[in-house]
Amino acid sequence: MQPFSCSLSDMAHRFVAALAVVAVAVSVSAAPEPEPFPTRWEFDMVPGDLRFTVVEGENGEPTPVFYLTYAVTNYSSRDRIFAPSFELLTDQGQLLRAGRGVVPEVTRSLLERLDDPFLEDQFSIVDTLRQGRENTRFGLVVWPATDLDIDEITIFAAGFSGESTTYFTNDPESGRRNRHILRKTRVLEYDTPGNLVPTTRTTTIDRSGEAWVMR
């Protein structure tokens, strides 16, 4: 058996190599996060409850949907364009963009049922959001409920902050460097009651958490 032998130079090189491996692992696994305090303009967004119901769709056809109402206020230094986007992700991996696959009759049925003269659909609300509490706007977003056997729902709400960040990744196949832009996004998490039952009665889905992320 050969006695263990290692020069100080060899140990130094191994130590530096180990640090490099750790640094690479950290840089790959660590996702960009929002700044602890807002660094850009940010709208105040107050989400209502996420709800599930069945409404009349095209030709009076019963249509199951998820919907969310919210209030948004501009406390920033000037009037700004407000163009929000909402996506709903189920624990089954289904990602739905609000409004996609939702016929106008569905939105109209919901607005009539909610009977709120200040409530705007997701297209009408896209406009200049003026400063101040007196200019608060109230929005409605709708998704088709195509999968009802779910346990968790996550909603990503973008367009409420001007903060963004850029990072790069290397494509191992082409060797090219890819540029990505992430924007500060509000995340709302919900626990669903299991297998939802389609009915005209409204089911309220409890929010289990919320946070800001870069996405």
Higher-confidence residue of 196 and 71: namely: 71
Pick from 149, 127, 146, 145: which is nearest to 137 by CA? 127
- Tens of pLDDT, residue by residue over 19-37, are 333 333 333 445 678 887 7
Q: What is the pLDDT of residues 96-152, one digit of tens each?
A: 999 999 999 999 999 999 999 999 999 999 999 999 999 999 999 999 998 888 999
Has residue 6 been placed in a domain? no
Average pLDDT, the chain: 85
Given a cut of 90, whether residue 186 has pLDDT beyond it is yes
pLDDT of the residue at 107:
96
Which range marks the domain in which residue 72 is found? 44-214
In this prediction, residue 200 carries a pLDDT of 80
Q: In this predicted structure, what is the pLDDT of residue 25?
A: 36
Dihedral sign, Cα of residue 109, residue 114, residue 117, residue 122:
negative
How many domains does the chain divide into?
1
Q: Tell me, what amino acid is at 82? A: F
Please tell me the predicted confidence (pLDDT) of residue 18: 41
- CATH code, 206: 2.60.40
Say if residues 192 and 203 touch (Cβ distance below 8 Å).
no
CA triple 215-183-36, angle to 5 deg: 95
- Is residue 207 in some structural domain? yes
